[in-house]
Amino acid sequence: MADPSFIQVALPVPLPQLFDYLAPPGGPLPAVGSRVVVPFGRRKLLGVVTGHSGQSEVPAARLLPVTAVLDDNEPMFDPALLDLLRWCWQYYKHAPGEVVAGALPPALRSAGNGLPQPPPQFRITADGRQRLLQGPGRAPVQHAMLEALAAAPCRADTLAAIGSQWRKTLAALLENGWAASEPAPPDGLLARSDRPPGPQLLPDQQAAVAAIGQDFGRFRCHLLDGVTGSGKTEVYLRLLESVLDAGGQALVLVPEIGLTPQLLRRFRQRLGLEPAVIHSGLAAGERLQAWAAARSGRASLIVGTRSALFVPLPRARLIILDEEHDASFKQQDGFRYSARDVAVKRAAELGIPVVLGSATPSLESLKNALEGRYGWHRLRERATQAALPSWRVLDMRQHGVFHGLAEAALEAITACLARGEQAMVFLNRRGYAPVLMCQTCGWHGLCERCDAHLTWHRGAGRLVCHHCGSQRRAPALCPDCRADALMGAGEGTQQLEEALERRFPGVRILRFDRDQTARKGVLDRQIEEVRKGEPCLLVGTQMLAKGHHFPGMTLVVIVNIDQALYSADYRALERMGQMIEQVAGRAGRSDKAGTVVLQTLHPEHPALALLLGQGYEAYARWLLEERQLAGLPPVGYQALLRADAHERARVERFLQEAAAAFPAGGTRLFGPMPAIMERVGGRSRMYLMLQAGSRAELHGQVDAWLPRLRELKTGRQVRWAIDMDPQEL
């Protein structure tokens, strides 16, 4: 092959290819992994160099040189990470440039920013110590800051806690020579002897730590399958200690809602270091700092949500993915990847172990464990000697109801509060009432853009669509018959909260749902309050099901799970089982036993009987057998061709042509069929489903199909995308 004379660049455009460019005039080829600015049509775009090559399909005369090479030609991505990104765009059939751009922190997606200097830390000087001896005098803030610095060198974020005057005060200290700045040390991992010791591990925990520890330095996937409260986090902490002590880096991925201050505090206290935190809610500057710290190796523990998966890790030794069954690990639009699957792939490429933790493993992971492909470590007892909760099923056909709660459930709450304990009511529907309905003519609010009811948010006086977000003012009179007869039908968390306030006057009631916790800090404040253990009653949505440890919680009431029992989505039963088990896991986590009350109209449903009678694992194995019979994932492999447009006919026409263009082979094709919720945001959504017994066969046929799809003229009138291993129908 000729000497490489071109570079291939990933550009953030929705096209399936890379683009060839020449070196800048007079300069060498920019390094693979570095950022460049290139001419693209009449625009200038920022891209990342993914490779060098000796030949181009574009005639040499038409190739253009790059306009600028950024970051002093320093690669942003190492070759291993680029290989992972390449695997991603090939596997998920997504535009390479969008995959690569998405892996850069937002601040680096424009040419104005480069890698930041690490934040300095500040220390007290000898003069500063002299000054401290003179006492606060008339400068109490200054004195407080000197005291903080005398205790230990601090970063700016720590000093900010001293008060709003901190910037001015710090500037004055520096100017007077009482404090000095210096580069901060990596991330301050405490020496092992200075760390608080953890509890003595239980035998099952010990065995898991030992088995996973055997695999340091090579790839293996481990399923840590432990009931809630069984000490999974404790296992992570021991593994992290080994990794950090050996000078390695570890990446811990958690679901969106799992990244609580408690978890970070636990890492901080036990490891004595400051984790670098990465999630999409961070300001661009903070995110860039954390990313740069990981990339430079200064940060050894990186904790984040899905978007942290692609952070550069020059010293990676371990990846942990907590609550691996959680749906938020799958990106549901754009680049539709599964962070769990890509994390396993990344560990395989890096030759390091990956730990998937859950109390309710996904069927995918359970199958891998059953077949021996994953290490399987079960923690079946709660670490704190707390007994697993007992179940009580209330047949709602036989119980009087008060706002959706059976009298027996209310009595259980009364008794629980009287014992000085805490209770929670779980209802997977936020808002006041699902529908505002006219008692005279039956009118109810429907979203004009979706196949969905509008949910009544009484406090705000609005009708809100939970699918497209559109809202309008709730009418006072019926829009159809003008009767003054509008009433809420069904229950939402807001209404339940109100009803419970009336029923339990004087009891502290806290609501946990997206409306209540939208404001920053509310969720954490409420969690802290519950953790104090005073008697209280929680009302909330699935937000309550995730990971929180509430020691005083002994009663969980699950209002209604019946929808899942008869859903059109074959995953609904799996999710229901996970949800019930997770919610139940909130009950009785310390020394007192917990009770879970489940209200249903179908107490005889075999799925429910199995789940409650024999537990999640037996239930999941049964679901897996059912999937086996139907050839459904994880036994078979699926992909969707999704399409949507304002006019249904266009979607249908495109999908019909697409179906006709599907190459011959072993993959079966179903559809076109409408999505379970067809209309969202005014667009009709439909799909073709592809199902195969082998992954290779499915990918081979989809890859052969894609160029044909791009040729279809009807495809230009709709939005379409491939969804590999889809999670939602």
Residues that bind ligand ADP (CB under 6 A): 199-202, 205, 226, 228-234, 383-384, 549
Q: How far is the CB of 573 from ligand ADP (least distance, A)?
A: 24
State the Cα–Cα distance between residues 102 and 209, nearest whole angstrom: 34
Sign of the alpha-carbon dihedral angle for 512, 516, 518, 523: negative
Binding residues for Zn ion restricted to 411-440, rule: CB under 5 A: 438, 440
Nearer to ligand ADP, 48 or 263 (CB): 263
Concatenated DSSP letters of 682-701: TEEEEEEEEEES-HHHHHHH
450 binds, among Zn ion, ligand ADP, none (CB under 5 to 8 A by kind): Zn ion
Q: Is 467 in the site for Zn ion (CB under 5 A)?
A: yes
384 binds, among ligand ADP, Zn ion, none (CB under 5 to 8 A by kind): ligand ADP
State the Cα–Cα distance between residues 359 and 616, nearest whole angstrom: 9
The residue from 92, 122, 432, 443 that contacts Zn ion (CB under 5 A) is 443
Q: Where are the beta strands (DSSP E) in 23-89?
A: 35-40, 43-53, 68-69
End-to-end CA distance of the chain: 47
Q: How far is the CB of 353 from ligand ADP (least distance, A)?
A: 18
Nearer to Zn ion, 57 or 333 (CB): 333
State the Cα–Cα distance between residues 219 and 341, nearest whole angstrom: 14
Q: How far is the CB of 487 from Zn ion (least distance, A)?
A: 11
Sign of the alpha-carbon dihedral angle for 705, 707, 709, 712: negative
Q: How far is the CB of 73 from Zn ion (least distance, A)?
A: 48
Q: How far is the CB of 488 from Zn ion (least distance, A)?
A: 14
Nearer to Zn ion, 369 or 447 (CB): 447
Q: How far is the CB of 560 from Zn ion (least distance, A)?
A: 23
Nearer to ligand ADP, 227 or 302 (CB): 227
CA dist 670 → 638, 639, 688, 690 (Å): 11, 11, 6, 6
Q: Is 278 in the site for Zn ion (CB under 5 A)?
A: no
Residue 686's nearest CA partner among 696, 695, 674 is 674
State the Cα–Cα distance between residues 67 and 377, nearest whole angstrom: 53
68 binds, among ligand ADP, Zn ion, none (CB under 5 to 8 A by kind): none
480 binds, among ligand ADP, Zn ion, none (CB under 5 to 8 A by kind): Zn ion
Q: How far is the CB of 550 from ligand ADP (least distance, A)?
A: 11
Q: Which residues contact 520 (CB under 8 A, 6 or more apart)?
A: none
Nearer to ligand ADP, 202 or 523 (CB): 202
Nearer to ligand ADP, 320 or 620 (CB): 320
234 binds, among ligand ADP, Zn ion, none (CB under 5 to 8 A by kind): ligand ADP
CB atoms within 10 A of CB 41: 7
- What 3-state class would DSSP assign to 44? strand
468 binds, among Zn ion, ligand ADP, none (CB under 5 to 8 A by kind): Zn ion
Q: Based on the number of CB atoms within 10 Å of its own CB, is 185 exposed (0-12), middle (13-18) or buried (19 or more)?
A: exposed
# of chain residues touching Zn ion (CB under 5 A): 14
The residue from 148, 320, 343, 447 that contacts Zn ion (CB under 5 A) is 447
232 binds, among ligand ADP, Zn ion, none (CB under 5 to 8 A by kind): ligand ADP
Nearer to Zn ion, 118 or 475 (CB): 475
Sign of the alpha-carbon dihedral angle for 571, 573, 576, 580: negative
Nearer to ligand ADP, 204 or 725 (CB): 204
- What 3-state class would DSSP assign to 473? strand
Q: Is 446 in the site for Zn ion (CB under 5 A)?
A: no
Q: How far is the CB of 369 from ligand ADP (least distance, A)?
A: 17
Residue 244's nearest CA partner among 267, 262, 214 is 267
481 binds, among ligand ADP, Zn ion, none (CB under 5 to 8 A by kind): Zn ion
Q: Is 330 in the site for Zn ion (CB under 5 A)?
A: no
- What 3-state class would DSSP assign to 632? coil
Nearer to Zn ion, 382 or 467 (CB): 467
230 binds, among Zn ion, ligand ADP, none (CB under 5 to 8 A by kind): ligand ADP
Per residue in 110-119, is it b (16+ CB within 10 Å) or e — as a string?
Answer: ebebbbeebe
CA dist 99 → 13, 18, 88, 121, 718 (Å): 10, 12, 8, 35, 22
Concatenated DSSP letters of 235-299: HHHHHHHHHHHTT-EEEEE--GGG--HHHHHHHHHHH-S--EEE-TTS-HHHHHHHHHHHHHT--
Q: How far is the CB of 720 from Zn ion (least distance, A)?
A: 21
599 binds, among ligand ADP, Zn ion, none (CB under 5 to 8 A by kind): none
648 binds, among ligand ADP, Zn ion, none (CB under 5 to 8 A by kind): none
Nearer to Zn ion, 102 or 490 (CB): 490
Is it true that the peptide bond before 551 is cis, omega within 30 degrees of 0? no
440 binds, among ligand ADP, Zn ion, none (CB under 5 to 8 A by kind): Zn ion
Q: Which residues contact 238 (CB under 8 A, 6 or more apart)?
A: 198, 201, 205, 209
685 binds, among ligand ADP, Zn ion, none (CB under 5 to 8 A by kind): none
Nearer to ligand ADP, 123 or 378 (CB): 378
Are 4 and 56 spatial neighbours (Cβ–Cβ below 8 Å)?
A: no
- What 3-state class would DSSP assign to 606? helix
CA dist 434 → 444, 456, 462, 491, 528 (Å): 10, 6, 12, 6, 30
Q: Is 462 in the site for Zn ion (CB under 5 A)?
A: no
Nearer to Zn ion, 127 or 678 (CB): 678
Binding residues for Zn ion restricted to 596-625, rule: CB under 5 A: none
Binding residues for Zn ion restricted to 476-535, rule: CB under 5 A: 478, 480-481, 483
Nearer to ligand ADP, 232 or 699 (CB): 232
Query: What single DSSP character describes residue 72?
Result: G
Nearer to ligand ADP, 511 or 549 (CB): 549
399, amino acid identity: H
Q: How far is the CB of 385 from ligand ADP (least distance, A)?
A: 8
| Interface positions with Zn ion (CB under 5 A) | 438, 440-441, 443, 447, 449-450, 465, 467-468, 478, 480-481, 483
